[in-house]
Amino acid sequence: MISKAVEVLRRGGLVAFPTETVYGLGANAEDELAVRRIFAIKGRPHTHPLIVHLPDHGFLDLWARDIPQLARVATAAFWPGPLTVVLRRSRRSIDLVTGGQDTVALRVPAHPLAAELLRAFRGGIAAPSANRFGRVSPTTAKHVENDLQSDVDLIIDGGPCPIGVESTILDLTGLPRILRPGGVTAEELETVLGVKVPVQQTSAVRVPGSLPLHYAPRAGVVIVDAEEIEERSNQLRRNGHKVAVIAQTGMSAGPGIPVFPMADLNEFARQLYGTFRRIDQEGYDMIVIQRPPNIGVGVAINDRLSRASGSTG
C-alpha cells in the first residue's frame, strides 16, 4: 500500500492518508500540477496556503530559512506530533503551497502510516484536510470517501484518527503566537518555550480555519451549559426543529431527542467531526452541544464549536 502510494505521488497523483489529527489529501509539495489538483478537488481558493508534511526534523532546513532557536526547541519537543510551525520559506516552497506568502507551514506527523509514507517518499507532502472546502475535516477513511469519491487516486485507511481535531498552528516568524489551537496546547508550548504563547484572534495571513463557519456541519449549532441542555433542546423542538444533543455521558435531553454521549475531553475531540457528519446524515437541523471545559484539547474544541455556531469573527 505504501509503495503504491509513493508511486501515485511521484507521478503527480493524490493520496489521502491518515494522520493523528485528521485525514490529509496529499500531493508532492514540489509538483505544481499535483498541488493545483488539490485546490481544484477541494474547491479551495488559491489564497489559502497548505501545510507541508515532512518525514523528520532533518527536512526543516530544506523547507525553511532563518529558523529561530524557538522553532528548534518547539519541533524538538513536539515532532512528530500535532504541531505545525509557520516559518520563513526556503526556495523549495512553491507559491501555490504558500499562497504567495514569504512563509511556509511545516509539520512532521506522528501517525505510523503517515510517517511510513513520508519516509518512503523522502520529500515534502502538501496536504490540507481531505474534505471539500467548508466542510468538517474527515477522521475516518469512510469520511474521505464520502467527500471526495473517485477524485482521489488512493485512500490509505488507518482507522479513526486518535486526536480528531487539527494540529496547532504556531507562527514563529515573529513573537510566537497560535494561529489555530489544536492537538498541542498553549500551556504545553509555554512550558517548553519558556515564553507566553497567545492565541491570535485576527490574522493578516489567510487562514481558512479562521473564517467563522469553516468547521461547520450543515445543522445549526448551539453551545450551552449542562443545566440548559434540556430546556434549550425542547424549546428548539417546539419551534419545529429536528434536534440532536452532544453532551457528556449520562445527560438526557427529554423524549424524542437523541443524546450523543462524550465520555471525556479526548473522546469529545476524537468523535466531534464524525458526530457532526452523522447528525447531518440523519437529517437533524439543530445540534445542542454541552460546552466542554476550556482546558487542554478543550481549547481547540471550543474554537471549532464557536466557529460552527457562527459566534466568532
Rule CB under 5 A: is residue 140 a binding residue for Mg ion?
Answer: no
**What's the rounded Cα separation, in Å, for the pair 252 and 93?**
51
Of 51, 148, 222, 308, the one binding ligand TXA (CB under 6 A) is 51
Rule CB under 6 A: is residue 50 a binding residue for ligand TXA?
Answer: yes
**What's the rounded Cα separation, in Å, for the pair 192 and 53?**
22
Of 80, 128, 138, 217, the one binding ligand TXA (CB under 6 A) is 128
Rule CB under 5 A: is residue 84 a binding residue for Mg ion?
Answer: no
Q: Under rule CB under 6 A, how many of the chain's residues touch ligand TXA?
A: 29
Residue 87 Cα to chain centre, angstroms: 19
Q: Under rule CB under 5 A, how many of the chain's residues touch Mg ion?
A: 1
Q: Which helix (H) or strand (E) holds 179?
A: strand 177-180
119: which residues sit within 8 A by CB, 6+ positions away? 55, 56
Of 6, 29, 83, 127, the one binding ligand TXA (CB under 6 A) is 127
CA quadruple 203, 207, 208, 212: dihedral sign: negative
Site for Mg ion in 186-215 (CB under 5 A): none
Of 75, 103, 271, 290, the one binding ligand TXA (CB under 6 A) is 103
CA quadruple 262, 42, 32, 94: dihedral sign: negative
Q: Cell 425542547 identifies what position? A: 234
Using CB under 6 A as the criterion, which residues of the chain lie in contact with ligand TXA when the complex forms?
A: 19, 21-22, 24, 48-51, 84, 86, 98, 101, 103-105, 107, 109, 127-129, 166-167, 169, 179, 205-209
Using CB under 5 A as the criterion, which residues of the chain lie in contact with Mg ion when the complex forms?
A: 129
